[in-house]
């Protein structure tokens, strides 16, 4: 431990500290290199101040630093504790405030003035100080001037010792020096002339990472300098020891700790001399600046990163002085945004303003002024436009942030500028779109208001009574039209319960309907009769869901409709009855959905009920008699294809097995577009009629038979003559044959004649037998000419008797007919006999003419005419009426029976008066089957 006093130590520390500060400042300036000049001092000053304060803070004695007016700039922890103040609170106070006695204060002020002027460089003074709680303490204050490089006094340092705690001067100083030595955060190192370490403080041990015992006595250079600089430093040291060199007050070099780590240390050295002024070693104070260097490296790297980022991001970055007057950094985006070079911004920090759109300039300036004045409440600038010389412009958005130093002073402004042109354009587009939308909304709102008004008016103006009620029947709203539709008396009032106002007979149906509508959310309607002004009326209430929990009731007078319905029902009943009586039912076949509707009578005709039978095209076909089914299907198909009128008779089989004859008629219905949509028609049970027809046919056949027998009776003479003649001839030829055979002559010609004659007699007999036979109708194909000839044969005798000539004229192209041959021959014989009768009184020559000719495509006409007197005009209308005759003994059924027989074969018979005398009858017969 070197023999030194606290005052000396303090002096030395102060000096070293000042020097370190200055040198560091210089060093930093060199280090910063390209840094603008303004930046260096700020950073260095703060670094220096920080360092000093930590140094002072570490002192075990109470120390405070004042400016020349005595204002406390810094008080260390011990000073603050001694005075009972928190450390921060002492800063800014005047030291004089701590001095309690008037006299002490006066003496202090004198000393202060002398110190400030540099008349005194240090001074000790005993005085009373007051603590924060007002307690007085006796202290000894040692004042020390602080000087700058030019030796001018810059501040004062006061070391305060409480007197009561002070032991004696010398001991105390040694103790303080010792404490300082131990606690200081710098390495204090003494190296003797032999390069050995003779003294090192604890911080030094920590720095060298070894115990004091491992360090003391070791060669500093061999043990704690890296190989790279050992020799050079050693040489310098030796020269120093020899007095050949002045000590280098400040330098930095690398040292190597006991664990081999290399650290960078900033040194301040002073030469130690003995009493005889011989150099005995060096006292060095070293600060570990490894971290600081690393920080500086990191800073350089961050700066590089910042530059790289700033030059690659879409935003423009800038750094300026706090007053925005000087640009320190501006990223290249500036050239793109402003169309000006970055250099121009460094040269003239106001040039950028010229390109700001005049409309935006003022607000921007205002905002800038606020920021310069320290108002950083908002980081943002108003959005602005930069106008380029060619007229294009960009929208920009800027933000800036202040940068503070440790004293919380703004030293820089940092800003980011973003190009928001596209965003602006998008915003404009959105704004426009929004305007359009808003306009639409406005129009819609107006329209809605209009519609609401309309609805309201409609609600009030509706001819029907409209009510809005809630689920419990409470009346919410109503239009008060015809309240009499609901209420026999009493007024509608909002808030009243509807049920309470209703007549009893409709109360329950209304309550139930409202409940159902509320739960099922489906419409309902209630028809009910009521008496209005003594008149029977009908109303219909439509109950329907409205809003949530609200139900709409619309009541209308439906009397007309209801009465019409009732009338319609009556008519329907009548129609049903009529259908039932006439056995005619109606049906409607919907061709779109395939459904088939039957009237009640159709069910009755088919022997089924709506409950047991579901009418449809398929089920309908099943009811048809098997033999008729395909025919019906075919006809229906043809009707649908060609739109023929549908008319068909067929048989159906009832479930009981009974067969019924029905006649169906129908027509196709088309919609407005002309498309066939349905087929409607009737079905009539014609079983009875068919039965009557059958019976009529039977009677007709019986009558025909009887008539034939009667004709046969009439023709007996003729027939027997006709038979007699060939028989007589056969007898004659037989005896002639006998003679010829006896004479041995040829008889073959006689045999042929006998054969022909016997055939002829056989034919007559056969025909007579056919005529006498009782037989039902039988339609066949036959040649009408054959029938005419064989009929003529039967009456051949009479014709001869009455000297009537017969003329048969035929067009042989068409002579085959389809009819009942026997019956048609009966008709012919009847016509021939009538003609014969008519001509029996007529003068000669009498002529019976029979013409056969085609009548259209499907008929053959047989015309029978005579040369008789003809039919009197007044008798023509009765010709075919049964039992009308002009003949004595005549029956008057010949013609009427003929008509019936011809029609039964599908033909027609008619009378056509001749222009000259005589009568003429036309018989039309089909030449083929009806459905061929």
Which residue ranges make up the site for ligand ADP (CB under 6 A)? 834-835, 838, 866, 868, 870-871, 879, 885-887, 890-895, 919
Q: What is the Cα–Cα distance from 23 to 249, expressed in whole angstroms? A: 9
Alpha-carbon separation of residue 236 from 241, 243, 268, 379 (angstroms): 9, 11, 14, 56
* CB-based contact 88:104 (threshold 8 Å): no
Least distance between ligand ADP and beta carbon 891 (Å): 4
Least distance between ligand ADP and beta carbon 778 (Å): 24
Tell me whether residue 546 or residue 880 sits nearer to ligand ADP (CB atom).
880
Describe the crossing of helices 784-794 and 748-772 by its angle, rounded to 10 degrees: 100
Least distance between ligand ADP and beta carbon 606 (Å): 44
* 368 CB-near residues (< 8 Å, 6+ apart): 324, 381
Q: Tokens representing 392?
A: 């294009």
Pairing of strands 804-810, 846-855: parallel
Tell me whether residue 327 or residue 711 sits nearer to ligand ADP (CB atom).
711
* 815 CB-near residues (< 8 Å, 6+ apart): 783, 784, 785, 852, 860
Give the residue among 879, 850, 868, 883 at the shortest CA–CA distance from 707. 883
β-pair partners for 124? 142
Least distance between ligand ADP and beta carbon 696 (Å): 18
Q: What is the Cα–Cα distance from 126 to 658, expressed in whole angstroms? A: 152
Q: CA-based Rg of the chain, rounded to a whole angstrom?
A: 74
The values of phi and psi at residue 859, to 5°, are -125, 155
Least distance between ligand ADP and beta carbon 882 (Å): 8
Give the residue among 837, 856, 838, 840 at the shortest CA–CA distance from 914. 838
Tell me whether residue 558 or residue 919 sits nearer to ligand ADP (CB atom).
919
Tell me whether residue 468 or residue 879 sits nearer to ligand ADP (CB atom).
879
Tell me whether residue 424 or residue 914 sits nearer to ligand ADP (CB atom).
914
Least distance between ligand ADP and beta carbon 835 (Å): 5
Tell me whether residue 490 or residue 890 sits nearer to ligand ADP (CB atom).
890
Least distance between ligand ADP and beta carbon 889 (Å): 8
* CB-based contact 344:350 (threshold 8 Å): no
Least distance between ligand ADP and beta carbon 878 (Å): 8
Displacement of CA 636 from its chain's centroid (Å): 49
Tell me whether residue 403 or residue 809 sits nearer to ligand ADP (CB atom).
809
Tell me whether residue 459 or residue 911 sits nearer to ligand ADP (CB atom).
911
Give the residue among 162, 145, 5 at the shortest CA–CA distance from 84. 162
Tell me whether residue 535 or residue 916 sits nearer to ligand ADP (CB atom).
916
Least distance between ligand ADP and beta carbon 922 (Å): 13
Tell me whether residue 489 or residue 874 sits nearer to ligand ADP (CB atom).
874
Least distance between ligand ADP and beta carbon 821 (Å): 21
For residue 247, say if its preceding peptide bond is cis, omega within 30 degrees of 0: no
Alpha helix positions (H), 313-420 = 333-338, 342-347, 358-372
Least distance between ligand ADP and beta carbon 830 (Å): 6
Tell me whether residue 56 or residue 838 sits nearer to ligand ADP (CB atom).
838
Q: What is the Cα–Cα distance from 302 to 438, expressed in whole angstroms? A: 51
Q: What is the Cα–Cα distance from 95 to 85, expressed in whole angstroms? A: 13
Give the strands of the sheet with 72-75, arranged side by side. Answer: 72-75, 62-66, 153-162, 136-147, 122-130
Task: Say whether 68 sits in a helix, a strand or coil.
Answer: coil
Q: Nearest residue to ligand ADP, using CB?
A: 894
Tell me whether residue 6 or residue 826 sits nearer to ligand ADP (CB atom).
826
Length of the chain: 932
Least distance between ligand ADP and beta carbon 885 (Å): 3
Q: Which residue has the tokens 């940068």?
A: 403
* CB-based contact 704:902 (threshold 8 Å): no
Tell me whether residue 68 or residue 703 sits nearer to ligand ADP (CB atom).
703
Least distance between ligand ADP and beta carbon 743 (Å): 53
Task: Say whether 844 sits in a helix, a strand or coil.
Answer: coil
Give the residue among 834, 871, 866 at the shortest CA–CA distance from 850. 866
Tell me whether residue 467 or residue 799 sits nearer to ligand ADP (CB atom).
799
Alpha-carbon separation of residue 432 from 308, 392, 396, 442, 922 (angstroms): 40, 22, 21, 15, 98
Least distance between ligand ADP and beta carbon 798 (Å): 14
Least distance between ligand ADP and beta carbon 833 (Å): 7
Tell me whether residue 510 or residue 921 sits nearer to ligand ADP (CB atom).
921
Q: What is the Cα–Cα distance from 247 to 282, expressed in whole angstroms? A: 9
Q: What is the Cα–Cα distance from 604 to 664, expressed in whole angstroms? A: 15
Q: What is the Cα–Cα distance from 892 to 886, expressed in whole angstroms? A: 8
Tell me whether residue 550 or residue 714 sits nearer to ligand ADP (CB atom).
714
Q: What is the Cα–Cα distance from 487 to 363, expressed in whole angstroms? A: 74
* Angle CA 230–236–242, to nearest 5: 130
Q: What is the Cα–Cα distance from 851 to 923, expressed in whole angstroms? A: 10
Give the residue among 466, 467, 469 at the shortest CA–CA distance from 518. 469
Q: What is the Cα–Cα distance from 118 to 855, expressed in whole angstroms? A: 165
Least distance between ligand ADP and beta carbon 601 (Å): 42
């Amino acid at each position: 431990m070197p023999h030194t006093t606290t005052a000396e130590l303090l002096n030395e520390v102060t000096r070293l500290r000042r020097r370190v500060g200055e040198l560091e400042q210089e060093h930093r300036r060199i280090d910063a290199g390209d840094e603008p000049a303004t930046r260096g001092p700020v950073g260095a000053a703060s670094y220096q101040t920080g360092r000093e304060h930590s140094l002072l803070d570490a002192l075990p004695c109470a120390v405070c630093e004042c400016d020349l007016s005595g204002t406390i700039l810094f008080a260390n922890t011990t000073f603050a504790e001694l005075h009972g103040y928190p450390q921060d609170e002492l800063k800014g106070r005047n030291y004089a405030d701590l001095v309690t006695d008037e006299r002490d204060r006066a003496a202090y002020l004198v000393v202060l003035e002398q110190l400030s002027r540099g008349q005194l460089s240090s001074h000790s003074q005993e005085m009373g100080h007051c603590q924060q709680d007002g307690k007085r303490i006796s202290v000894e204050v040692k004042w020390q001037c602080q000087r700058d490089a030019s030796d001018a006094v810059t501040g004062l340092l006061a070391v305060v010792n409480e007197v009561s705690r002070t032991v004696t001067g010398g001991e105390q100083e040694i103790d303080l020096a010792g404490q300082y030595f131990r606690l200081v955060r710098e390495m204090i190192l003494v190296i003797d002339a032999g390069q050995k370490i003779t003294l090192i403080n604890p911080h030094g041990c920590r720095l060298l990472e070894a115990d004091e015992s491992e360090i003391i006595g070791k060669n500093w250079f061999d043990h704690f300098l890296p190989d790279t600089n050992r020799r050079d430093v050693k040489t310098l040291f030796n020269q120093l020891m020899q007095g050949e060199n002045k000590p280098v007050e400040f330098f930095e070099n690398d040292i190597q700790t006991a664990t081999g780590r290399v650290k960078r240390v900033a040194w301040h050295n002073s030469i130690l001399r003995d009493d005889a002024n011989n150099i005995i070693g060096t006292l060095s104070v070293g600060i570990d600046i490894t971290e600081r260097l690393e920080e500086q490296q990191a800073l350089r790297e961050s700066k590089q990163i910042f530059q790289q980022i700033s030059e690659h991001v879409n935003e423009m970055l800038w750094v300026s002085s706090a007053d925005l007057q000087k640009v320190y950094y501006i990223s290249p985006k500036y050239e793109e945004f402003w169309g000006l070079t970055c250099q121009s911004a460094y040269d003239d920090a106001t040039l950028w303003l010229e390109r700001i759109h005049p409309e935006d300039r003022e607000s921007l300036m205002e905002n800038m002024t606020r920021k310069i004045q320290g108002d950083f409440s908002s980081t943002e600038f108003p959005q602005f436009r930069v106008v380029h010389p060619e007229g294009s412009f960009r929208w920009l958005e800027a933000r800036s942030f202040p940068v503070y130093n440790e004293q919380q002073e703004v030293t820089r402004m940092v800003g980011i500028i973003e190009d928001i042109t596209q965003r602006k354009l998008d915003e404009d587009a959105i704004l426009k779109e929004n305007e359009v939308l808003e306009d639409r909304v406005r129009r819609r709102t107006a329209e809605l208001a209009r519609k609401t008004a309309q609805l309201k008016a409609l609600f009030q103006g509706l001819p029907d009574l409209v009510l809005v009620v809630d689920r419990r029947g409470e009346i919410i709203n109503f239009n008060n039209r015809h309240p009499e539709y609901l209420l026999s008396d009493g007024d509608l009032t909002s808030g009243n319960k509807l049920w309470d106002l209703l007549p009893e007979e409709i109360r329950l149906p209304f309550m139930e309907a409202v409940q159902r509508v509320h739960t099922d959310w489906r419409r309902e309607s209630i028809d009910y009769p009521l008496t209005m002004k003594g008149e029977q009326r009908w109303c219909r209430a439509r109950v329907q869901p409205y809003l949530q929990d609200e139900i709409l009731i619309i009541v209308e007078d439906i009397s007309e409709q209801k009465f019409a319905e009732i009338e319609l029902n009556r008519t329907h009943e009548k129609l049903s009855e009529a259908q039932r009586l006439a056995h005619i039912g109606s049906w409607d076949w919907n061709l779109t959905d395939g459904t088939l509707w039957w009237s009640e009578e159709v069910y009755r005709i088919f022997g089924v009920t709506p409950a047991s039978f579901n009418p449809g095209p398929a089920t309908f076909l099943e009811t048809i008699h098997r033999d008729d089914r395909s025919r019906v299907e075919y006809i229906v198909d043809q009707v649908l294809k060609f739109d023929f009128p549908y008319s068909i008779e067929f048989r159906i089989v009832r479930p009981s097995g009974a067969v019924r004859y029905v006649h169906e008629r129908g027509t196709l219905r088309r919609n407005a577009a002309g498309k066939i949509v349905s087929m409607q028609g009737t079905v009539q049970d014609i079983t009875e009629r068919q039965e009557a027809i059958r019976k009529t046919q039977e009677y007709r056949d019986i009558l025909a038979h009887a008539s034939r027998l009667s004709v046969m009776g009439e023709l007996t003479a003729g027939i027997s003559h006709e038979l007699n003649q060939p028989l007589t001839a056969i007898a004659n030829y037989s005896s002639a044959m006998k003679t010829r055979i006896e004479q041995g002559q040829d008889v073959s010609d006689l045999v042929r004649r006998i054969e022909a004659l016997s055939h002829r007699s056989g034919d007559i007999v056969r025909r007579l037998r056919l005529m006498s036979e009782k037989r039902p109708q039988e339609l066949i194909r036959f040649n009408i000419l054959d029938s005419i000839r064989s009929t003529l044969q039967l009456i051949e005798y009479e014709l001869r008797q009455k000297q009537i000539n017969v003329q048969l004229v035929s067009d042989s192209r068409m002579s085959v007919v389809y009819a009942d041959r026997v019956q048609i021959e009966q008709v012919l014989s009847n016509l021939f006999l009538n003609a014969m009768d008519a001509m029996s009184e007529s003068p000669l020559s009498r002529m019976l003419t029979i013409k056969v000719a085609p009548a259209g495509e499907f008929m053959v006409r047989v015309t029978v005419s005579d040369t008789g007197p003809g039919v009197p005009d007044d008798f023509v209308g009765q010709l075919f009426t049964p039992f009308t005759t002009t003949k004595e003994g005549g029956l008057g059924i010949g013609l009427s029976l003929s008509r019936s027989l011809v029609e039964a074969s599908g033909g027609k018979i008619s009378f056509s008066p001749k222009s000259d005398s005589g009568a003429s009858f036309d018989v039309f017969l089909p030449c083929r089957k009806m459905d061929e």
